[in-house]
Amino acid sequence: MARRYSIYDVFTDRRLAGNPLAVILDGDDLADETMQAIAREMNLSETVFVQSSANAAYAARLRIFTPGKELPFAGHPTVGTAVALAELNHRSGVGVEAGQPDIDLVCVLEENVGPVRCAVRLRAGEAGFAEFDLPRKPVQIELPLDRQGLADALSVKSTDIGFENHVASIWSAGVPFLMIPLHNLATVQNLEFDTALWEKAAPFVEGSLASAYVYCRSGVNHQAKFHARMFSPDMGISEDPATGAAVAALSGAIRHFDALPDGHHPVLVEQGVEMGRPSLIHLHIDVKEGEISRARIGGQAIKVAEGTLYL
């Protein structure tokens, strides 16, 4: 059966930047092992399969796969698919063409983590923009950490780990990440990730080897408040250009270590710079009575290619 697919670059407004995503538009009736094989074939950090939802109130059901495993939730597939479906249903041709109508809509995408509410904005001549509410609030997972082992796996000094109140910690908003704050931008840019040493030093969280999310204050882009890199041997990802699920988890670390006061806090996170695929992830954190009351993640997405799978 022939199945349509599109490739979108996500968390960017220009092609060949950001995080590429394969969107399989005809994802119904595919076995789990077939979807995993297609994800390996695509060989992108994530491939999403759009399926019909049993709930008529949901726009679609999404199954999200890395080359190595299925994920319950991920940010760049959510943003990319929300834009892809909006363009498919409300646009003709390529979404950034001039003369297209402006579109603002809200939809709910069903993911394994639960329903995810998305807002989509399409403007003529611009890459689409989508923003979603975090399906789960970030929580900290308390596990002992080998500071020297983690430093060795990143080829940095143990004294490079941590800045201000930020220390290494594990957070999850659906997918757990080991957050490693490094002293400055140069240290993050020049680290060398050693998979073998990481597998020795990193803990297992919820049955899987923890992924590394390394971050520091500020960025190459003067508007960015944080600069980040993500490495995940367990997911089959050597390095990821943009990781929305990690930024969702990072919101917990930011609220906790920065002691955010009540109110609204916009945060721009850059990632993928070292890979030549710069990404900008918009994070908004609302704090009430010292805790996160709401958080959302957004970014742009632009179509790069489309085609047909023959299975």
| Rounded alpha-carbon distances, angstroms, from residue 227 to 54, 76, 224 | 39, 17, 7
46 is catalytic: yes
Q: How many CB atoms lie within 10 A of CB 94?
A: 11
Q: Measured between alpha carbons, how far is 96 from 128 in angstroms, rounded to an integer?
A: 8
Phi, psi of 35 (to 5 degrees): -65, -40
Contacts of 141 (CB under 8 A, 6+ apart): 170, 171, 172, 176, 205
| Rounded alpha-carbon distances, angstroms, from residue 302 to 97, 240, 249 | 11, 18, 25
- For the record, the structure tokens of 304 come out as 């790069």
Q: Measured between alpha carbons, how far is 208 from 161 in angstroms, rounded to an integer?
A: 23
The active-site residue, picked from 46, 110, 111, 131, is 46
Active site residues: 46
